[in-house]
Structure 1
Amino acid sequence: MDKLSNTGVKLAQLRRSHGMTQEELGKRLSVSAKAVSKWENGDSLPDLSLIVMLAETYDCTTDYLLGREGGLVSLLPQIRETFVSMTVEEKIGFLGDIITVAGASMPTPPVSPHGHPSLVHIRLGPFGIGLWAKDRLVCIATTTFLNEAVETLGKEADFPLTLLPDEIRPVLLALLRDMNDLKPDYAVDEKTLQSLLPNTMNFDDVLTECIELGFVDRVRGGYRLNFKADLAVRLLAIIHQTINKRGTMNVTVGRP
C-alpha cells in the first residue's frame, strides 16, 4: 500500500504538468472534479479502466501510476511490440529522446531556434557518443565500443583510414582526449607528444600540416585536437570498426 499511496501525488503532478485543472480532467474522464480530488489526496483510487485512461492521457505506463518499479527492462516487451507499427521517423525520434535523456547531465551547445530541424545534436562525454538528427539519424556508441574502435584505428590502415595520410593518423590518435577527461583546455605538451610519435617522423612538418588541415590547434601548453577533429576521429573509428568486423556484421538489403 505504500507504493499505492504515492499514486495520488503522481496524479496531481502529472495533471499540473499537462496544464489541466481537476474539472478539465474530470470532464475528459467523465467523472467529477471531486473524484479527481479524492484520487490526488489519496482518499481513493481510480477504477482499473480509469487507470488505463489516465495513463493514455498522461502518456505514461500504468505501472508508473501504480508505483511498480520494474526498471526500464520491464518496458522492453511493450517497446518491441510498439516498434513493429512505428514509422522509421517515429523510431528515430524515440531513440533521439533516449539519447537526450541519457546525456542530460552533459553540457549541450545552444541550438538556434532558426536552425534546420534535422541539425545533428551531439552528446559526447564519459558515457560515449550519441548523435541524433530528427527523422534522419541515430547513432549510439558506448565508451567500451569507442575504446575498442580507437585501439583498432591505431593498428590498422584499411579503408577508411587510407583517407588520411599515414603520418597524420598517429598525431590524431596521440591527441585524442580520454573519454573521462573531456576538458576544453586539454593539451599535450610538445615533449610528451614527440614521445608518443615515431622517431622517424618529421615532427615540425607533420604538425604544421595537421594545423593547416584544421585538425590540430596550437595552444598554451602544447597541442590539442579541436572539437570537430576530435569527433571526426571517433566517428572514423566507429566506421572502421563497423565495416572491418565482418564476422559480427548483420547486413539487411532491401526494405526493412
Structure 2
Amino acid sequence: MTWASIDLNADLGEGFGRWRLTDDEQLLSVVTSANVACGFHAGDPATMRRVCATAAERGVRIGAQVSYRDLAGFGRRAMDVPAGELAAEVAYQIGALEVFARAAGSRVSYVKPHGALYNRAVWDEEQARAVVEGVLLAGGSLPVLGLPGSRLHAAAEEAGLPVVGEAFADRAYTPEGTLVPRTEEGAVITDADAVVERSVAVARFGTVTARDGTSVPVRARSLCLHGDTPGAVTLARRVRARLEDAEVRVEAFV
C-alpha cells in the first residue's frame, strides 16, 4: 500500500537526571511525532517538561511512550505484570505526560508502548487489552501507535480507539511481518544507506524486505527512527531528505 505522506516518530526524553541518551533538541527539528518517555523505562519530570515544551514550540505531536516499570532494564526486559496493575500504570504514565503537554500549550495526541511491552502486546491478548484499558482509563480516545496486525491493534479497534500502523526502517523483519528480537544477531540494521532506502520503500510502496530476502507488506502510516543509536540525528535528517526527494510528504498522522 502506498502512502502520499508519512509521519516520522522517534523515542525522545530517554534520559534520567543528569544522564541523557537522546539528542532531543536536534531530533525535534526532524521528526513530526515525539514518543516521550513517561518515567517508567526512562525520563523524569524535568525531562518530560523540557521535551514537551520544545515539541509544542515546533509543532511536533506529543505521544506517551508507556512501558513496564523497568528503569534498570530500559523497559526491554520481559516482565509479567497483572493486567489490572498494568492498566493502572499505563493510565498513570499518560496522565503524567498530559500535565506537561498541556502546560506547554499542547496535549498528548497518541500512545505507543515501548520495548518489551510493545513486543509483548503484539501477541499477548491479555497484555494488549490491559494497555488499551489504561488508555481508556486515562480518558479520551487516543490513537494507538503499534505494529500492524498486532493483538494491541485488534484490542484497540474493539474498544473503538483509532489505530496507526508503524514500521521500522532500522529493524530486521521476519517473513511474518514481526520484528526480529533484539537478542538475535542482525536484529538492528546499522547500514545507514540501507535504512534510508528501506524508509522510502515503506513510504512509497508499503513493503519491507525481511531477513530471508522476501518482500513483506507493511501498512504503515508512521515510520520510527530510533533516537538512541549512534549517529541518530544525521540518519534522521538523511531519511527525511530522501523521503522529500522521493515526493513523499512528511507530516504528522494526527
Q: TM-score, normalised by structure 2?
A: 0.24
Higher radius of gyration, 1 or 2: 1
Higher relative contact order (CA 8 A, sep 6+): 2
Q: Quick check: which one's strand share is greater?
A: 2
Between Structure 1 and Structure 2, which shows a larger proportion of helix residues? 1
